[in-house]
Structure formats: structure tokens, C-alpha cells
Amino acid sequence: MQYTNTQDQVRILGISGSLRKASFSTAILRTLARKAAPLMLIDVMTLEEIPFYNEDLDRSPGSSAIARLKRSVVESDGVLIATPEYNHGIPGVLKNALDWTSRPAFQSCFRNKPVSIISSSLAFTGGVRAQYQLRETLIAMHAQLVMGPEVVIGGVHTKFADSEYNDETGLSFIMESLERLRVEALVRRTSMVAY
């Protein structure tokens, strides 16, 4: 399915699973935001302001940071999550944010939302275990995982120059994945209009 007119532009929320100031995950998202424009507008979000999940706090009016995160997911056409791997899994800060957005139960703002994942690590494995763990969580939240070859970036620290992801082969592969996300987002938008 090919899309060529100006209505092909999609708004993607890019969520970084790392809080580090010089985070590779955040830098990858920022590189992609520049490369993917104008067909994809990627709004990069970090999770510094998200409090620990506490069901006692999960009621109106609630945290403004949580409200902003949920609104950003709802208003996006799709979500792109970039995460490092910590101890064979996803960082606690990312799981925490997903726990907030999974509520209320069975009514998550991620429900039926197209989502793509990029995982990375200093090791050659590229965060594959984090990717699988993240997929499990997103499936439980009824997100629509975009199918295709998984994007994993091994030896991520060797693929940057001046805070810019500069692995051309890897970038080409990632852009193909982003195109699949864009198409899924457009299909979902079209189906929603039909109803």
C-alpha cells in the first residue's frame, strides 16, 4: 500500500527508556526525528517527571506528568519506543511509565495503538532480551505491535559521532521499520475515520 499525498504525514510519539543525559536511546530518537521528517513528525519524550506507580495516586486529578504522557499517546498516530537493556530486561523507569499508561485496566491509551521498538546495548546482542520483555508488556496492554524484522543495535556506543547516530547501514534498516510503523498508523487512521 503506497501513500503519496500530504495526508500521509503521521505524528509519532518517541519514548526513550533511559534517563541518562547522554542517553543513546534518546539520541537515536532525535536522529530519527530529523531523518523521518516531514512524513513522520516524531515528538521525543523522556520520563524524568513520571512518579513511581502507586494505585493510591491513580485517580483524578492525578499527576500532570502522567496526564501529559497519556494525552501524548492518545494524540499520536503511533508510538516508537527506544530502550536500552538493563540486567536482561527493560529499565524500571520504562516499565513504570507503561504501568501508568496501562490504566484503567483493559482501557489503556495504548490499546490498538501501532507501536515499534528499538532496543540497544553496548553488547553485540543489542538488547534482544529487553525487546522481548517489552513486547510481552505491550501485548498485555493490547497495543498493536508492528510486525517485521526486529530493530536491535549492538555495540551502540560505537555508532555515534557528535551525539548523532551515524551507522548508515543500521539507519537504512531502521528507516524501513519506521515506514512499516507509518503505514500501520495510516491504516489505523483510515479505519477509525470509516467508523
d(CA 181, CA 146): 6
Residue 52 sits in a domain whose CATH number is 3.40.50.360
pLDDT tens-place string over residues 44-57: 999 999 999 999 98
d(CA 164, CA 24): 9
pLDDT tens-place string over residues 126-166: 999 999 999 999 999 999 999 999 999 999 999 999 889 99
Q: Is residue 64 part of a domain?
A: yes
Q: Is residue 1 part of a domain?
A: no
d(CA 97, CA 105): 15
Structural domain total, the chain: 1
**How far is the CA of 67 from the CAs of 24, 53, 71, 102, 146, in angstroms?**
26, 13, 6, 13, 25
Domain span including residue 86: 6-194
Q: Is residue 66 part of a domain?
A: yes
Q: What is the pTM of this model?
A: 0.94
pLDDT tens-place string over residues 17-37: 999 999 999 999 999 999 999
